[in-house]
Every structure is written in structure tokens, then in C-alpha cells.
Amino acid sequence: MSLANQLDQIFVFLQHWIEGFFPQWLQPGVGALIAVIGIVATFPAIFAVTTVLERKGLGRIQNRLGPNRVGPLGILQPVADGIKSLTKEDIVPRSADGVVHFLAPVVLVVAIFLGYAVLPVGRNMVLMNMDAGLLFFFAIGASTELSIFMAGWSSRNKYSLLGALRAVAQMISYEVPLLLSSVVAVMMTGSLSTVKIVEAQGGFTGIFPHWYVFTPWGFAGFILFVIAALAETNRSPFDLPEGESELVAGYFTEYSGFKFALFFLGEYLGMLSIAGFAITLFLGGWGAPFSFLGFMPSWAWFFLKLFAAIFFFIWLRGTLPRLRQDQLMNFAWKFMLPMTLLNLLVAGAWRFLGDGWSRWVICSLVLLFAYVLLGRVLMRHQHLGPRSYRYAE
Amino acid sequence: MIFGFSLTFLLTATLTVAGALAAAMLRNLVHCALSLTVTFGGLALLYLQLGAQFAGFSQILVYIGAVAILVVFAILLTRGAGIPEYRGFSTSWFFGLVIASAVFALLTWSVVRSLPASAATAAPSVTVQSIGASLMSTYVLPLEIVAVVLTVALIGAVIVAMPESRAPKSEAESSGAK
């Protein structure tokens, strides 16, 4: 076995090596436990790195320094933040609903961690290769909405409740395009298994890979998926649920100490997992971007792509202003939904037009035409200018 | 194995029944809705134990992701969810008990009747792909009918939510300005 192959499978070997110390009947359980520990250790570590990268990156975009006091260049800032949130007092409002208030962050983090079970982070590196893996991810993702509602309602605070209602409405609205835009990848693969979706994008033409994003329907699906993913994770420009100028901090206004840190963790882990699924569905998962780069281990490619996605999210957050609630809903139902439905049709047409260049032209033209037409029609009645308020000056 | 049931089954069954009981007995409506969600989750776990991945995940996606949210929104939008002001038991609990036990007996009877004479030895292997194939071939007509019904419901909801007509809207705006 070559060195590159060994490096590729190093974590799998490690898992089998540790399993070898246990009796036969314990081995499956121990193997699963090791994989779970790997996930629970890796992704929060990436979250810690992401927080400092985000603050540094936003600082750069906003022409300031960002955190630079703790450790060299401020890279130990997450450690300080973690210690701070562990030692802070946990304040629960007197009228809050104690049990629900406590359960909400726990349910959120547990549900988001469960989503990682079907995320393939490298060749042979997935916790569960389920037949319905993608469906599992979306089902688990849908149950985070309830924990957000629990947080907002149990706090007995109008800002919390309004933030929770906004968040839930937004997540439900954008869940539809999120699901529908990922269906094209499932249609082309013929399987809901995340491993099979990655393997179907494995080959190369010349030096270029067969990623779904390099087809008309895949490109449209990828863009729609990323927009819906941003809204689903309450990231800017869709961060209305936490609009600090209107709602203090949204649904976690009344949370402090480590429960607040759990919400923070859940939000970033949700972003990482949904970025991981965007990579899995459209960007070839752990596949190398060029055929001559195949010597690098597969997990390295996955995490490189993940950091690229994080960079993109930070860049967007520093660039775009926040949407208004009606713009948000109009965008979801009048633009995203028709485009995803059309993309499904285009993907079907792609499948039945056969090989050749004609399907490239037809599918691209249909999507481009729909995009321009929809944009024109929706913008026709938009009055761009100062907004008049009915109940405020 | 306890009483011929596996430990996992007993745990999930207890969870499901406890959630259902809590949903019926708790005083606060939002608590009831949240415990109903526990029941939905327990049912999904029961499906998963039977090897029905698609049914289990669909249960989570539809019931926890959508129906529970709908219930909670309905409670919040129709009445104040703050003060528990509802009695746990209604005055006509006796008739309720009779009806509930009659429904339960009927369901049990029909389930027992529908069991095959000899229990199937090998569990049928149902993949998501085979479910999709049969939905698109054998059951395509029911699927389409359900789709039409859902679309009609969606359009109906939009029509209910729409303002009555364009003309009175400006009137409402002018009255709001006063």
C-alpha cells in the first residue's frame, strides 16, 4: 500500500488499531464510540478556530484589528472565551419556564451533532452509511426549529418570543428550497446515501472532476442551496432572528453563561454541518479538485473545502446588509421556490436529453432565462427608495 | 429481554406512552404540545427499530419539523400561552372514557384481525429506492391525488390569508394614519 493511501486511511487504521484491544463482541460499539469522539472533538475545535477567524476577518473587512490580546495574534481568544462562559453565572429569569428553558440549548446541540452522523468527511470516514442518509440529516435539521421555539417561549420575554417566531418562520420557509435544491443531486445519483452521492462525483474528465456544481442544474442547485443554507443557519444577510437593533439578541436574549455558549456552539456547528452537506452534494465531498492532486488525503480535501466555505460565509457577513422580514419571505416563496422547482425539471430534462452538447445549451438557457424573467417580474413593483412607516416617523 | 420484549422496545414504548399521557394531562398547552413531540419522536424510533428508515425519518421530518411547529404556532396565535387556565379534566370525563376505550377496542380488534395466520419469518427488505419505485409506478395515482389535495389546501390557505380586495386596503391605511 502506498504512502498516500496509508495517509488517506490513517484515521480508519487508528480506529481499527484501538478496536483490536477489545474483545470481539465489544468491537462495533468501541468503533462507533471512537468515531463519535472524533466528531465531537473535531467540529467544536473547528468552531473555536472559526470564531477567531470570523472576528479577525470581520475586523479586516471593517478596517480594525480584531482580537489581538490573548496569545500570539489573538489566536488563544477561543480558550479565554470558553473559560469565561464556563465561569459566568447562569441567570434564569424568575418567570421563565425552568425545564423548557434548560432543555432548549441541550436539544439544539444534540440535534445538530446528530446531523454529523451521516456526513462523509473522507474515504471510508462516515459514522453511519445509511440508505436514507440525506433524509436523516434534513429530518434532524427540522427538529432544531422546535428547540429554538422552546428557547424563545420559555424565556417569557417579548424579544425572545418575537425572535423565536421570526427564526422558526424563516427556517420553515427556507427549508422547502433547501430540500428541493438538494433533490437534484439525489436524482442524478439515484440514492439518498451521502457516501454514494460523493462516489458518483468521483471521476475525472481530463483533469477536471465530475462535481455536480459543474453542470447547469448543479450550479443552480448549489447557489440555491447555499442561499437557503445561509437562511437556515440564521447567518447574515438572513440574521433577522437576532437583529440586535430590534430584538436585543433574539431567542437567546435571556440565556447567559454556558447555555448561551451552547447556543453559540449550536449555531456554528449548524453552519459547519450544512456547509459540509453543500460540499458533499455539489462539490464532490472529499474528492480532489484536479486529477493530479489525488495524492493528498481525502479528509484533507474535505476540511480544506470546509474552511473555504467558512471563509465565504465570513466574507458574506462582512459584505451584505440585513434583509427586511417581508423581503425575506418574498424572496423565499417568489424566487427560491419557483427556481428550485424549475431546477428539478431541468435536471430531469438533462437526464433524458442524452449525451452531447445540446443538453448543456438547453439547460443553461432555460435556467438563465427563468432567472432573468423572474428577477424582472419581481423587481417591477419594487419601489426602491426611502421607506414610509405606518406607525412610526 | 423482559416479557418477550427487547429492552430498546420497552424504553421507546415507555417514552412514547409517557409523552402521550403528558400531552393529555399537563395543564399548560405549550407543555402539552412539547410532550406530544416526544410521542412523535418515540413513534419514529419505533419505526426505526422495525427497520423502516424512510417511515421513521419522514415521521421526524413531518411531525416534529412541521406538525409540532404548526400546533405550537396555533396555540400562540389563538390564545395567550402564558397563564395555565385550563382544567386538566373535563366534566364529561365518563363519556370520554367510554368513547376512548371503544375506539381502542375497535383498533385492537382490527389490528389483531389483520395479522397473518403465521407470522412472517424473514423481515422484508425495503430500501428507499424500492419505496420510490413503487410510489412512481403502482401508487402513482394516489400520490398525484394527494399532491392535488395538498396544492388545493395551500392555495386555500393563501386565499384565506389574502386581503379581501385591493380597494379597502387604502381605506385601512388612511384610518391607520389617523
Separation CA B49–CA B51 (nearest Å): 5
Average pLDDT, chain A: 84
Contacts of B41 in chain A (CB under 8 A): 143
Question: pLDDT tens across A9-26, in order?
Answer: 777 788 878 888 888 888
Domain identity same for B76 and B133: no
Contacts of A168 in chain B (CB under 8 A): 69, 73
Residue-number span of the structural domain to which B151 is assigned? 126-178
Separation CA B106–CA B112 (nearest Å): 10
pLDDT band at B142 (very low <50, low <70, confident <90, very high): very high
Does the pLDDT at position B173 exceed 50? no
pLDDT band at A74 (very low <50, low <70, confident <90, very high): confident
- Mean pLDDT over A94-117 rounds to 87
| B32 lies within 8 A of chain A by CB | no
| B124 lies within 8 A of chain A by CB | no
Does the pLDDT at position B91 exceed 80? no
Which residue of chain A has the CA closest to B41? A143
Contacts of A175 in chain B (CB under 8 A): 65
Does the pLDDT at position B175 exceed 50? no
Contacts of A145 in chain B (CB under 8 A): 65, 69
Residue B151's pLDDT is 92
- Mean pLDDT over A180-202 rounds to 86
Separation CA B44–CA B39 (nearest Å): 9
Q: What is the pTM of this model?
A: 0.84
CB-based burial label for A46 (10 Å; 0-12, 13-18, 19+): middle
Which residue of chain A has the CA closest to B73? A165
With beta carbons less than 8 A apart as the criterion, state whether A109 and A115 touch.
Answer: no
Domain identity same for B5 and B59: yes
Does the pLDDT at position A146 exceed 70? yes
Contacts of B64 in chain A (CB under 8 A): 139, 142-143, 146
- Mean pLDDT over A268-289 rounds to 88
pLDDT band at B104 (very low <50, low <70, confident <90, very high): very high
Q: Contact A146/B72, CB-based, under 8 Å?
A: yes
Domain count, chain B: 2
**Furthest-apart CA atoms within chain A: distance in Å:** 74
Question: pLDDT tens across B35-52, in order?
Answer: 999 999 899 988 888 878
Which residue of chain A has the CA closest to B176? A390
Residue A357's pLDDT is 81
Domain identity same for B77 and B148: no
Residue B124's pLDDT is 64
| A165 lies within 8 A of chain B by CB | yes
Separation CA A255–CA A273 (nearest Å): 24
Q: Contact B61/A139, CB-based, under 8 Å?
A: yes
Separation CA B24–CA B33 (nearest Å): 9
Closest of A195, A183, A189, A172 to residue A220, by C-alpha: A183
Residue type, A176: V
Residue B80's pLDDT is 58
Segment 74-93 of chain B within 8 Å of chain A by CB: 76, 81-82
Domain identity same for B7 and B61: yes
User: Which residue among A139, A150, A390 sits closest to B57, beta carbon to beta carbon?
Assistant: A139
Q: Tell which wins on pLDDT, B177 or A143.
A: A143
Domain boundary among B50, B82, B114: B82
Domain identity same for B137 and B69: no
Domain range summary for chain A, segments of one domain joined by +: 3-379
Distances (CA, A) of B42 to A102, B5, B45, B59: 21, 16, 5, 10
Does the pLDDT at position B177 exceed 50? no
